[in-house]
Structure 1
Amino acid sequence: MKKIICFYTLLLSASIAFAQNKVLYTISFENANHHLANVSVTFPQTDSDTLYIRMSRSSPGRYALHEFAKNVNNLSAVNQQGDTIEVIRKDPHQWMIPNPKGTTRVNYTLFANRGDGTYAQIDLSHAHLNIPATFMYAQEFFNNPVEVTFIPRKDLNWKIATQLPLKEGTTYTAPNFQYFFDSPTELSNFKKRSFDVESKGKTYTIEFVLHDHSPEDLLNDYFEKVKGIVLSQKQVYKELPEFDYQRYTFIACYIENASGDGMEHRNSTILTDKEGLANGGMHNNIGTVAHEFFHAWNVERLRPKDLEPFDYSKANMTGTLWFAEGFTSYYTNLTLVRAKIIDQQEYVKRLNGTFNYVWNSPARQLYNPIEMSYQAPFVDAATAVDEIDRSNTFVSYYSYGSMLGLALDLSLRQNGLTLDDFMRKMWDAQGKSEDPYTIDDLHFNLSLYAGKDFADNYFNNYIYKGGMPDFKTLFESVGISMERQEDKPYIGIRLRQNQVVAYPLNDSPAYISGLTKGDKILAINEIELTQDTDFDEILSSFKVGESLNISYLRFGEQQNTQLILKSDPTYHISLDPRAKRRVEKHRDHWLTN
């Protein structure tokens, strides 16, 4: 028995040592002009008779499928002796290598030409690498450490920006694949700024890397805004997260060939847009900085249980995106006004679009915020060739959750509490320890903070159901007016060159009349529409309740219908100039705290 125990002890020790064998990557960009990278990966010896390798189908922070295998070409493999070995395509995402001997080196070419928070882009301006879109992996070695060597284009003055720790030269490491896949990397001739922040006795370096054509002085101005965002959001939680290696890196690509996006990661974030700082980005891109940095707490560490562990072989779904993404969206503009990047008037002005979109959506009658969150795999940068009636069946969990966060904050403030304090309670309860939360945890912690009756009312009416809070009363409490032009006629369609370009909202006059997307309006009460016709001007000449005769073209045939105008449901939200001083103080405490 003693010999058997010793044998199994030795076997276990050998297995642990074996499991720690590194997966080694090298990536180079000799043919960057044609969006190609050459990738080599060396896998340790497998303990089975077949090595299975695959490309991811999803990416951290994204919830839809993206099928990265479609961009892999010229795949081949050699064994430890350098002999070419057979590779068999098992399915669209996976390959199998039968009976490998020792280590296995796989080589392939990657085509990459989308610069955003999910995909990779390689050209003569940069190598913008989201890791799941770039590197193959073997599930068998998912917990093994990783080393990756980037070979930058020296002729293009490329440098390397990543949250990965540097080993030596241009070789970086990761403790396992979850960390590796969560570590986007930018190779380009970028600029960099940094500053240090003290938190709980530690010093953290906040880096801002910018790939942009703008001059240095604009970067300096923008970086001051980034500083303000970091310090404002730190004030919410009273501390920074414990960033690994005591460093956090913003990686911004504001160049013509990028696509607008932002994506949070554990110790970094990707920020992309076509607008550089010199041509609109100074103003238009800063909100994404605020949104993504707030995720360093809310999502990266205060994390939905449904997303742990993140599965790269399928779409990942959670019912908590109204909180994870929505409350983060609420704090986006709140951060900007608190950091004095925008003023109070601009903050309130920005409420209009989001509020009316959520308030007037018929989709709330179909799905509550939890069920809206479940639709993320169909909408989060997902692609489809068939028509989808999203205007009637979906409200973005970003917008929906943002309005619910606003309502919760203003409701708490009527009771001498704040959403800041609740977020901090959630952070203390489950964020610091990285104990993933459920919807029940959110409900329970709100009960502990604000009382059971308050929490039950909020969740039963607005989370488990699609109800809307009494925003008029809530807005009045902070000196904001909410008014509607009841005499303004409303038809409920969006036109482009007189053609209906979106499905009408349920119960709108256009919907009831039978008009739908694709119809081309020819005449209203025998007033012919031309390319130069101002539709809104014509509509304003009629009154609410008036019946209109609509002539339109569908599938090449002229048709007619009747339509009865309703009152425009759009609310105008603005600062109330008649607000009392005590109410203004209440608003100031909210927007400057």
Structure 2
Amino acid sequence: MSTRARAAKAARNAGVRYTVSVLSAHAHLFAVTLRIEQPAKNQRVALPVWIPGSYLVREFSQNLQQLRAWQNGQPVALRQLDKHRWQAQAEAGEPLELRYEVYAFDASVRTAFLDASRGFFNATSLCLRVLGQEDTPHALELLSGEATAGWQVATGLTPQTVDAQGFGHYLAEGYDELADCPVEMGRFWSASFTAGGVEHRFVVAGAGEWMDGERLIEDTRKICETQIAFWHGQQPPPFSRYVFMLYASADGYGGLEHRNSTALICQRADLPRTPAPGEKPAALKATDGYTTLLGLISHEYFHTWNVKRLRPAEFARYDYDSENHTELLWFFEGFTSYYDDLMLRRAGLIDDATYLQLVAKTLNQVQQTPGRLVQTVAEASFDAWVKYYRMNENTPNATVSYYTKGSLVALCLDLTLRAEGHGSLDAVMRELWQRCEGGPMREADVLRALKRLGQRSYEGEIAAWVHSTDELPLPSLLQDHGVKVAHDKAPLAQQLGLRVSETGGSVVLKTVLRGGAAEAAGMAANDEWLGVEFAPAQRGGEAEAEAWRLHKLDELPPLRARRAKLTALVSRDKRLLRLPLDWPTESFTVRLAVGDAPKLASWLN
């Protein structure tokens, strides 16, 4: 039997088989058929309520409709058990077929999207789980048709029998693998490269013809080679192929990691542009959108090891029916956030000065978050389901990001290990990979690896940096490694304790930060700051009050001159309020620069 014939037979013999087609691109509807070869009596099915890597219950079942079932050619009654589970009144043994539709119009990386130009889905949004058969082989057939004429397919799933465009049969070892391999369909740009002996495919949907694909591929290849060498040296990575799926939109950003692929979104303007004849590609700067995109690519690729394989013990087996809590997101997201930009530096894509600007940006973000003194980064990890992914106007006052502070914890550990002459965090990460065999791990494993390589206990540091709200000792650690630490005057909004939106000539308060001058004055989120009023001044023997309209915050200092007090005129729920505001004392942001280049090189290179 030929390889192609064996592959076709494997797909046909899968115990759980899905067929996905475009029902209506304009109505954004996928049609799905689920065939269960050996159902249980009264077989139950369920759609996940969340997708691994994005820690929020998203209720994907809200988009499922027209669910029907048949057995032996006869309709089978279905009973809905709760928000995402159904039970078919079926007999055991005879094939059971379910058909349904899924509305797909969310362009994020987490769910599903469909229109006349593009289709994308995660199986967690489209494919009902067959309870009790999650570990049997699962087959997926992607049907082509009039709506998909000219489209291609990209996915990390193992192809069985597919056409030149990628439509056809795919096979997964079980539901977990199916859920971990998103599918991109449409007219996209595509190119491939080899890193670590493994073929990597990069597809971009929504890009303009001006995109510099050669640069994108070459820069991504450098990132991949650097990371594979980081984890494995000259050994091959733990996957045989990899797919980057990037959607370029007018205004979007995000990524979601998978076992051998990643789904990404960026702003179209952030893609590299083909240089004019004779023009050299511009050097990357910390403020460039393309630098941000490369950092995202680096972040999600690093997750291939750090969270998809080396992962919290609580994620040893995903529970798709409810929240999966862990206190270790500071490690899996935070440490990945530390290494994403560092890998850009080690790959030679940015220089020392640019990298330090990126570190300073993270340091200032944490320092400008009052919630860092309220919530530990371990608590932030556990509370991701109800706090980080459910942000509101009070989020900066009550929480800290396990991404940003977690990355600074990694930086502290790395610099401390290096200062004490006991290796680096690089060695700790590789030790954990070997110790946990690329599988589930606990905080105790981190402590054991630190103790073995650092030759002392690091329980005190982990207690202070992870399980308390103590400040991190970064300034001294950075200076000891050749970094010059300076301070600049903070932007006015930060000095006032505000985060604002300035559009259309209107200053609207998004967040009033805890302990700031704006909070002391009684300002609140959603207030519109209309203007300012100053106390009467003597002019020619008469007292005159001054009142000025405010269109943006930068207009305030010249109006204020040297006066210490002013009255803010704000609109709240259509009521006009006069709020006395004491001018704050100056505050500062951190600026990092190269101080001792040779000393710095021992860390960054």
TM superposition score category, shorter chain reference? 0.7 to 0.9
Q: Which residue of structure 1 lines up, in the alignment, with residue 75 of structure 2?
A: 84
Look up the SS of the partner of 1:397 in the other structure.
Answer: coil
Counterpart AA for 1:494: R
What CA distance in whole angstroms lies between the structure 2 residues aligned with 1:363 and 1:351? Answer: 20
| Selected match of 1:546 from 529, 550, 564 | 564
Does 2:430 align with 1:424?
Answer: yes
| Selected match of 1:369 from 377, 397, 400 | 377
Does 2:68 align with 1:70?
Answer: no
- Listed one character per residue, the Cα deviations across residues 542-572 of structure 1 (whole Å, up to 9, x for unaligned) are 6999344434333444433433333343323
CA gap of 1:115–1:552, structure 2 versus 1, over 3 A, is: closer
Tell me by how many angstroms 1:322 deviates. 0.8
Look up the SS of the partner of 1:517 in the other structure.
Answer: coil
Query: Contact 2:335 / 2:410 at 8 angstroms: preserved in 1?
Result: yes
- Listed one character per residue, the Cα deviations across residues 337-367 of structure 1 (whole Å, up to 9, x for unaligned) are 2222222222222233321121232212221
Q: Which residue of structure 1 lines up, in the alignment, with residue 477 of structure 2?
A: 474
| Selected match of 2:130 from 134, 138, 145 | 138
- Listed one character per residue, the Cα deviations across residues 395-416 of structure 1 (whole Å, up to 9, x for unaligned) are 1111111121222222222123
Query: Contact 2:387 / 2:399 at 8 angstroms: preserved in 1?
Result: no
Tell me by how many angstroms 1:67 deviates. 0.7
Q: Which residue of structure 2 lines up, in the alignment, with residue 25 of structure 1?
A: 18
Query: Contact 1:161 / 1:187 at 8 angstroms: preserved in 2?
Result: yes
What CA distance in whole angstroms lies between the structure 2 residues aligned with 1:303 and 1:400? Answer: 19
Does 2:569 align with 1:566?
Answer: no
Unpaired segments of 5 or more residues in structure 1? Answer: 1-19
Look up the SS of the partner of 2:58 in the other structure.
Answer: coil
Query: Contact 2:215 / 2:272 at 8 angstroms: preserved in 1?
Result: no
Tell me by how many angstroms 1:153 deviates. 4.1
What CA distance in whole angstroms lies between the structure 2 residues aligned with 1:217 and 1:550? Answer: 47
Does 2:486 align with 1:483?
Answer: yes
Q: Higher helix share goes to which structure?
A: 1
Query: Contact 2:49 / 2:322 at 8 angstroms: preserved in 1?
Result: yes
Query: Contact 2:14 / 2:139 at 8 angstroms: preserved in 1?
Result: no
CA gap of 1:545–1:419, structure 2 versus 1, over 3 A, is: farther
Q: Which residue of structure 2 lines up, in the alignment, with residue 165 of structure 1?
A: 158
CA gap of 1:286–1:485, structure 2 versus 1, over 3 A, is: closer
Counterpart AA for 1:193: A
Q: Which residue of structure 2 lines up, in the alignment, with residue 4 of structure 1?
A: none
What CA distance in whole angstroms lies between the structure 2 residues aligned with 1:216 and 1:566? Answer: 48
Tell me by how many angstroms 1:52 deviates. 1.2
Q: What's the TM-score, normalizing by structure 1?
A: 0.87
CA gap of 1:544–1:574, structure 2 versus 1, over 3 A, is: farther
- Listed one character per residue, the Cα deviations across residues 380-432 of structure 1 (whole Å, up to 9, x for unaligned) are 5558xxx55101011111111112122222222212322212211212211xx
Q: Which residue of structure 1 lines up, in the alignment, with residue 307 of structure 2?
A: 299
Query: Contact 1:160 / 1:187 at 8 angstroms: preserved in 2?
Result: yes
Q: Which residue of structure 2 lines up, in the alignment, with residue 197 of structure 1?
A: 195
Tell me by how many angstroms 1:309 deviates. 0.7
Tell me by how many angstroms 1:311 deviates. 1.1
| Selected match of 2:456 from 449, 452, 455 | 452
CA gap of 1:245–1:288, structure 2 versus 1, over 3 A, is: closer
What CA distance in whole angstroms lies between the structure 2 residues aligned with 1:361 and 1:466? Answer: 12
Does 2:223 align with 1:229?
Answer: yes
| Selected match of 1:122 from 91, 114, 121 | 114
Q: Which residue of structure 2 lines up, in the alignment, with residue 15 of structure 1?
A: none
What CA distance in whole angstroms lies between the structure 2 residues aligned with 1:204 and 1:551? Answer: 62
Counterpart AA for 1:308: A
Query: Contact 2:327 / 2:381 at 8 angstroms: preserved in 1?
Result: yes
Counting matched residue pairs gives 554
| Selected match of 1:345 from 332, 336, 353 | 353
Query: Contact 1:152 / 1:159 at 8 angstroms: preserved in 2?
Result: no
Query: Contact 1:194 / 1:207 at 8 angstroms: preserved in 2?
Result: yes
What CA distance in whole angstroms lies between the structure 2 residues aligned with 1:72 and 1:290? Answer: 34
Counterpart AA for 2:241: R
What CA distance in whole angstroms lies between the structure 2 residues aligned with 1:407 and 1:418? Answer: 11
Query: Contact 2:28 / 2:105 at 8 angstroms: preserved in 1?
Result: yes
What CA distance in whole angstroms lies between the structure 2 residues aligned with 1:247 and 1:41? Answer: 27
Q: Which residue of structure 1 lines up, in the alignment, with residue 549 of structure 2?
A: 530
Tell me by how many angstroms 1:65 deviates. 0.6
What CA distance in whole angstroms lies between the structure 2 residues aligned with 1:194 and 1:233? Answer: 18
Which residues in structure 2 correspond to 1:388-427 (within 5 Å)? 389-416=394-421, 417-427=423-433
Does 2:446 align with 1:442?
Answer: yes
Does 2:600 align with 1:587?
Answer: yes
What CA distance in whole angstroms lies between the structure 2 residues aligned with 1:559 and 1:66? Answer: 39
Q: Higher strand share goes to which structure?
A: 2
Tell me by how many angstroms 1:441 deviates. 1.6
What CA distance in whole angstroms lies between the structure 2 residues aligned with 1:273 and 1:42? Answer: 37
- Matched residues, percent identical? 25
Query: Contact 2:334 / 2:402 at 8 angstroms: preserved in 1?
Result: yes
Look up the SS of the partner of 2:153 in the other structure.
Answer: strand
Tell me by how many angstroms 1:30 deviates. 4.1
Does 2:332 align with 1:324?
Answer: yes
Does 2:263 align with 1:270?
Answer: yes
| Selected match of 1:510 from 515, 518, 534 | 518
What CA distance in whole angstroms lies between the structure 1 residues aligned with 2:20 and 2:410? Answer: 43
